[in-house]
Amino acid sequence: MVNNDIKQLDQIFSALSDATRREMLSRLAEREMPVWELAEPFNMSKPAITKHLKVLESAGLMKRSVQGRTHICRLTSSPLSEVADWLAFYEKFWSKKLDGLDEFLTSRKGE
């Protein structure tokens, strides 16, 4: 459903709009790790970490597997492909330094 896609994009972009969460993804890109290890670089309380993880999880960017008392987190990158799809449409603009029709026309003045 298209409407779901929109909501999903909302969630994904929103999840990515926080530097802490982006760094979490970056760490998980290297390897999976338990919450306590993932949290190490962040000067932040445990509940704050829990919240960030929930955001990533409900955006589909992370999954966890519970092993005893530790939760192993791993990157699930597939939602990023939707961002890439969205972005692909705009690539022609910046790659050609072309921002809207006016600049296109401007760039053709000398032809």
Partner DNA sequence: ATCATTGTTAACCATAGAGTTAACAATAAT
Partner DNA sequence: ATTATTGTTAACTCTATGGTTAACAATGAT
Contact 107, 98 (CB under 8 A): yes
Q: How many CA atoms lie within 13 A of 81 on its CB side?
A: 3
Closest CA to 31 of 77, 71, 63, 74: 74
Total site size for DNA, rule CB under 7 A: 28
User: 72 — alpha (psi -120 to 50), left (phi > 0) or beta?
Assistant: beta
Closest CA to 27 of 53, 58, 1: 53
Q: Does 8 help bind a copy of itself (rule: CB under 8 A)?
A: no
Q: Does 83 help bind a copy of itself (rule: CB under 8 A)?
A: yes
Among 45, 94, 106, 107, interactor with a copy of itself by CB under 8 A:
94
Q: Does 52 help bind DNA (rule: CB under 7 A)?
A: yes
Q: Which stretch binds a copy of itself (CB under 8 A): 3-11, 37-45, 49-57?
A: 3-11
Under rule CB under 8 A, which residues in 15-54 are in contact with a copy of itself?
Answer: 16-19, 22, 25-26, 28-32
Backbone angles phi, psi at 63, to 5 degrees: -130, 155
Interface residues toward a copy of itself, by CB under 8 A: 6, 9-10, 13-14, 16-19, 22, 25-26, 28-32, 63, 74-78, 80-81, 83-84, 86-87, 89-91, 93-95, 97-103
